[in-house]
Structure formats: C-alpha cells, structure tokens
Amino acid sequence: MSATDNNQSNSWFGSDRRRLIIQEYGIFLAFLLLAIVLSFSNEYFLTAGNISNVLLQTSINGVLAIGMTFVILTRGIDLSVGSVVALTGIVSASFATTSATAGIVGAPYPPYVALAVGLLVGIACGAVVGLIVSRFAVPAFVATLGMLSAARGLTLIYGGGKPVPALTPDFRWIGTGSVLSIPMPVILLAIVFIVAWWVLNRTRFGRYIYAVGGNPHAAITSGINVSKLRFLVYVISGGLSGLAGMILAARTGSALPQAGIAYELDAIAAVVIGGTSLSGGVGRITGTLIGALIIGVMNNGLDLMGIQSYYQQVLKGALIVGAVMLDQKRNLGG
C-alpha cells in the first residue's frame, strides 16, 4: 500500500472511514437533518404539543416495525400485520365495550381480559403463518399474503362489518392515558423497544436470528433449529401486531373493521429505511426505531406544510426504493 493510499484510508474523510460513518450513523444524521429542515419550514413543528403528537403517531408503527424487524432479519416478510391489527382490535374491543349489540355475552369484561384475548389472537395469527412457513416451506410472501386476506375477512365476519364502539375507560387507558405526562402508547413502544433490543443483542436467541438470516445452511450445520426459530419470529410479529391493534382501538375509542389498511407498508418502510437488509442477517432495532420516527416526522411535517397525503405516499415509496437500492449496493460491495 502506498503512502497516499494509507493516508486516504486513515483520513477522517477517507473512503473507508466515510463508509463506516455512514453505515453507523447515517440514519441518525438523516433524521436530524429532516427535523432541522422541518423546524425551519414550520414554526409549530418543534412545539411540545406537536412533538407529543409525532410520538403518538409513531408508536403504533414503531411496535409493528419492531416485530417486522425480527422477521426480516431471518430473510422473511410479514404482509399480514395490518389485517392482524384490525382483527385483534375488534376482537379485544368486543370484550371491553358497553354496547349491548357490539359486545360479546357478559361484556364489558375487565381490561386485562380484553388485552389477553387480543394478544392471544395476534399470537395465534403469527403462529399459523409461522407454521406454514417453517413446516411446509411456503414462501413467507405467499403465507403472509394469505393471512392478510384471511384476517381481514375474519374481522368483517366477527364484527359483521360494523365497528365496535363505546369502549370502557379502563381499556382506553392504554391508548389515551399517561404516566408522568408521557402518553401510554409511547411508554409501551419504549418497553417493546428495550425488550427487543435486549433479546437481539444480549441473548442466544438474538444471535441465532442473525445467524439464520446471514446463512441458513451454516446455521443448520451449527445445530440451530431454524424451523423453530422462524416459527417464533412470526409469533413475535403477530403478538406485537395484536398489541398495536389494541392501542389503535383504545386511542380512537372504537375498533373499526377497516383499521390497519396498508400498515404493513409503513412497518416495512421503517425497517428498510432503518438499515435492516431484506437479504437478512444485517440490521439493528435502533435503526428501525429511527426509521419509524423518520416516517412519523415526515408525515407530520408534510401535514403541517399543507401537502396532500397523495404526495406523502409518493415520497414514502421513493424512500423505500432508495433504501433498498443502498442495501443492494452495500451487499455487492459497492
């Protein structure tokens, strides 16, 4: 290696150092840049009320995106999360409503009963998908696409195509309550994030997830039960979809059969923008959280600027494609 090459590689602005900085901190710097631009574009962006609103809007997508991260790290995908949000929301709401026509017999039940039922429904949906993917080797795209349709249909059947209104205040607390002035959805997102970070970075299960995503054949040779692990990541995604569905129902005060439409796109966008590779084995839960915040901040900022939602969808699509292109370039060593 020549002296010039050595100086370039050791320089702060050398290509190797620059690539490392972009990989490690690029998503965080992009988030800061977006926040700075929007703060200068609109005087209300940095107000306490608007920041709280952004965090509330991000909480549901953040929970879904964290579950999606587990799946994508194993080279999978979960297109069913939006429909599972609707199904779990309407089932749990039927246990927590004071409506004589929308609730099940004996409703309203204590909130912990409704919450437990909602989580079980989400976990069951994830278990069905995980079983199909892991035991029958059906591609995740096909299996989760089928669950997307099935869960939406079950939502309409269960609720008769009607919303479940009049939820009890105790149940609504998970969506509208607060602790020390911090909204409960934000607290729940923080708890999910901390647990997910610990699992992926401090447990054998987390190391196995990266191993399976990086090289499934090598993982099998190493004695990892790949089928069981793939089953479990879909269970995790389904359970977190159930939690997100109940938060959404609690926030709005009623469970809607059309809830969660296209939520899977926002969740996938947050994961991909956050740096998790669709090829599996590469990604961090911190990046996913920042990716969800970028989407939330972008949507909020464009709303404040009076830009129609149609343009927001175009911009979101461009961000996803751009993130995937960068991921492909990194995988090819470009």
Q: Give the tens place of pLDDT for each residue, 68-120.
A: 999 999 999 999 999 999 999 999 999 999 999 999 999 999 999 999 999 99
Distance CA(174)–CA(295), nearest Å, equals 23
Residue 16 is predicted with a pLDDT of 63
Q: Which residues pair with 182 in a beta bridge?
A: 179
CB neighbours of residue 57 within 10 Å = 20
Residue 12 is predicted with a pLDDT of 45
Distance CA(112)–CA(95), nearest Å, equals 10
Residue 103 is predicted with a pLDDT of 92
Listing DSSP states for 119-165 in one string gives HHHHHHHHHHHHHHHHHH---HHHHHHHHHHHHHHHHHHHHTT--B-
- Out of 28-42, 73-87, 236-250, 308-322, least confident range: 308-322
pLDDT over 70, % of the chain: 91
Return the axis-axis angle of helices 81-94 and 226-252, rounded to nearest 10°: 60
Instruction: Take residue 139 and report the two structure tokens written for it.
Output: 């591609």
Q: What is the mean pLDDT of residues 55-78?
A: 97
pLDDT tens by residue, 134-150: 999 999 999 999 999 99
Query: Is residue 207 included in any domain, yes or no?
Result: yes
Query: Is residue 85 included in any domain, yes or no?
Result: yes
CB neighbours of residue 278 within 10 Å = 18
Residue 299 has pLDDT above 80, yes or no: yes
Query: Is residue 202 included in any domain, yes or no?
Result: yes
Query: Is residue 187 included in any domain, yes or no?
Result: yes
Query: Is residue 217 included in any domain, yes or no?
Result: yes
Q: In the 8-state DSSP scheme, what is residue 167?
A: B
Q: In the 8-state DSSP scheme, what is residue 222?
A: T
Backbone φ and ψ of 79, nearest 5°? -85, 0
Query: Is residue 210 included in any domain, yes or no?
Result: yes
Q: What is the mean pLDDT of residues 47-56?
A: 92
Residue 215 has pLDDT above 80, yes or no: yes
Query: Is residue 169 included in any domain, yes or no?
Result: yes
pLDDT tens by residue, 175-189: 999 999 999 999 999
Which residues, other chains included, contact 197 with Cβ-Cβ below 8 Å and sequence gap of 6+?
A: 285, 286
Residue 313 has pLDDT above 90, yes or no: no
Identify the band that residue 41 occupies on the pLDDT scale cut at 50, 70 and 90.
confident
Handedness of CA 64, 67, 70, 76 (dihedral sign): negative
Residue 22 has pLDDT above 90, yes or no: no
Identify the band that residue 305 occupies on the pLDDT scale cut at 50, 70 and 90.
confident
Report residue 197 CA to chain centroid gap.
Answer: 14
Q: In the 8-state DSSP scheme, what is residue 43?
A: T
Residue 304 has pLDDT above 70, yes or no: yes
Q: What is the mean pLDDT of residues 283-303?
A: 92
Distance CA(331)–CA(325), nearest Å, equals 10
Residue 10 is predicted with a pLDDT of 52
Helix/strand/coil percent split, the chain, to 5: 75, 0, 25
Residue 24 is predicted with a pLDDT of 66
How many domains, the chain? 1
Distance CA(146)–CA(135), nearest Å, equals 16
Asked if 249 contacts 149 with a C-beta cutoff of 8 angstroms, the reply is no
Query: Is residue 245 included in any domain, yes or no?
Result: yes
> 210 lies in which domain range?
58-261
CA angle at 97 for the pair 114 and 49, rounded to the nearest 5°:
85
| 258, containing H or E segment | none
Distance CA(133)–CA(277), nearest Å, equals 20
Which amino acid, 153?
A: G
Asked if 133 contacts 140 with a C-beta cutoff of 8 angstroms, the reply is yes
Residue 202 has pLDDT above 80, yes or no: yes
Report the greatest alpha carbon distance in the chain.
Answer: 81
Distance CA(213)–CA(220), nearest Å, equals 11
Distance CA(76)–CA(69), nearest Å, equals 9
Q: Which residues pair with 178 in a beta bridge?
A: 183
Distance CA(67)–CA(308), nearest Å, equals 29
